[in-house]
Amino acid sequence: MLNIIDLSVRDVLQGLNLAVKPKELVLVVGANGSGKTTLFNTILGAVKPTKGKIVVNGKDVTNIPQYKRVYWISSVLQDPRSGSIGKMTILENMSLAYMRRGYKRISNKIVNYFKEKLSILEMGLEYRLSERVENLSGGQRQALSLTMSIADDCNLLLLDEITSALDPKSSAMVMKITDKIVKYENKTCLLITHDIKHINSFNGRIFEMKNGKLVATS
Amino acid sequence: MIISPQELLTCFEIGIIFGSVAVGVYLTFRTINFADLTCDGSFVLGAAVSAVLIKNGVDPYLSLFCSVLLGGVAGLLTGILNVKFGITDLLSGIIVAFMLYSVNLRVMGNSPNITFVSSENTFLITFPLALCLICLLSSGFGLKLRAIGYNKQFALTVGTNVELMTIIGLMLSNAMISLGGGLFSQYQGFCDVSQGVGALVTGLASVVIGEKVLPFKKEPFIVLSCIAGSILYRVFINIALHSDLLAIRTQDFNLITGVIIILIMIKRKKALYA
């Protein structure tokens, strides 16, 4: 599903290798400054690698620009405010996420599809489609971002410290939703975090970033 | 009476003409969040192209079409300077507006002004174009265009080509502003190379007034607010200039415009903290 081959970014990432299988959940942990976010941004296309290859679903995406790479990779960022647009409604945000693979028209059928996806959150957001996102709490916004990341058929999900800007309660809720999404939506997921407490409740492979390389810990 | 029916009619007509300028300013300053100063140059470009073509016997509507096209080219140039060469938004707009002064003089045959006769009431074309723009902003394309103004990082993560969208936004904006220039020159039967000075401020004032008096929840409809704001702006100015009590004269026009914008902005800020 995701193959990272000999990836280097200046002196931050050094010949990094990683293979993630379809429907697998992989956790990357590491201290601040270890290069986790650089890895995330490089896979996403925001940072250009100095060496190496990134292959998603058999397609070499290394030289594909970020806005085109979203065809294969969807992502959720650290800050809940940067993962959605507060001044737009929930429906408009979901539509934007859905259109990333080139779909143009949002029909009633698609709106119902959005409602179905939002109902996974069990927050009642499916009844608040015309409400502006700025009215939602940080946890709700991050949960919405997660749902937006599965709004289309994109199979690889990149999550970068998605709970770091949230309080413990919201953080637990968002992690529960992430588990649910990976389990029921059959997504391949790469979760990057510095929060060690995720490790205990995690069922999957765990890697640690050390000196710009990934070391398997379990 | 504060304002006569004839003056009110004039306010409506000029308000509608400058409505397209306001819509253009709205597209850059609000929709794509780009402080574009090309406006003062593209306004005159539209006026000059329309004036020269009509003087040479071209149909007024066709001349407006040419104004719109060339306005779009001015926006394209600003966009390329910003997106491809990394020049800041303010500076790229200033450079293009600065260069357009020479271009406009060339278009006008090296004469600083042109007089001509146009009997067509072309200014009403603003409305169908505004409706087209509302449809465009309501579409998936419009959603992506608005997204880059709010959050470029997010726009990228949902697959928006931010660079291309910025250029398209600037082209649309300057096309509308250039249309305003063309309409204004046809309305007056006159075009002057320096008539673009203050077009941006007028457009901004109209946007601010429009958003205040007609705050549509659905964002694309703010295009209509801009036109309404432009008409109201003309009415305010007219009232202010005809007020004997304040002893305001025509030369105080810029002062009055500035005061109106400041008053509305202050009210806006107070409302934000209320």
pLDDT digits (tens, 9 = 90+) for B60-83: 999 999 999 999 999 999 999 999
Q: What is the CA radius of gyration of chain B?
A: 18
pLDDT digits (tens, 9 = 90+) for B218-246: 888 999 999 999 999 999 888 877 766 66
B5-273 homologous superfamily: ABC transporter involved in vitamin B12 uptake, BtuC (1.10.3470.10)
Q: Does the beta-carbon distance from A67 to B153 stay under 8 Å?
A: no
- Inter-CA distances, A158 with A74, A140, A193, A210, Å: 6, 19, 11, 20
Give me the residue from B150, B151, B159 closest to A100, CB to CB.
Answer: B159
Residues of A with CB below 8 A from B154's CB? 82-85
Residues of B with CB below 8 A from A100's CB? 158-159
Round to whole Å and give the CA distance between A176 and A142.
Answer: 12
Closest residue on chain A to B146 (Cα): A88
Q: Does A9 touch chain B (CB under 8 A)?
A: no
As a whole number, mean pLDDT of residues B137-166 equals: 90
- Residue B138 burial (CB < 10 Å; 0-12/13-18/19+)? middle
* Spans of all domains in chain B: 5-273
Round to whole Å and give the CA distance between A95 and A105.
Answer: 9
Task: State the complex-level ipTM.
Answer: 0.82
Mean pLDDT of chain A: 83
Looking from the CA of A78 toward its CB, the CA atoms found within 13 Å total: 11
Nearest to B180 by CA among B12, B48, B46: B46
Q: Which of residues 98-137 of A touch B (CB under 8 A)?
A: 99-106
Q: Does A46 touch chain B (CB under 8 A)?
A: yes
Q: Does A68 touch chain B (CB under 8 A)?
A: yes
Q: Does A64 touch chain B (CB under 8 A)?
A: no
Structure tokens at B35: 């402080």
Q: What is the CATH number of domain A2-216?
A: 3.40.50.300
Residue B85 scores a pLDDT above 90: yes
Q: Does the beta-carbon distance from A99 to B154 stay under 8 Å?
A: no
Residue A200 scores a pLDDT above 70: no
Chain A to chain B, count of Cβ pairs less than 8 Å apart? 57
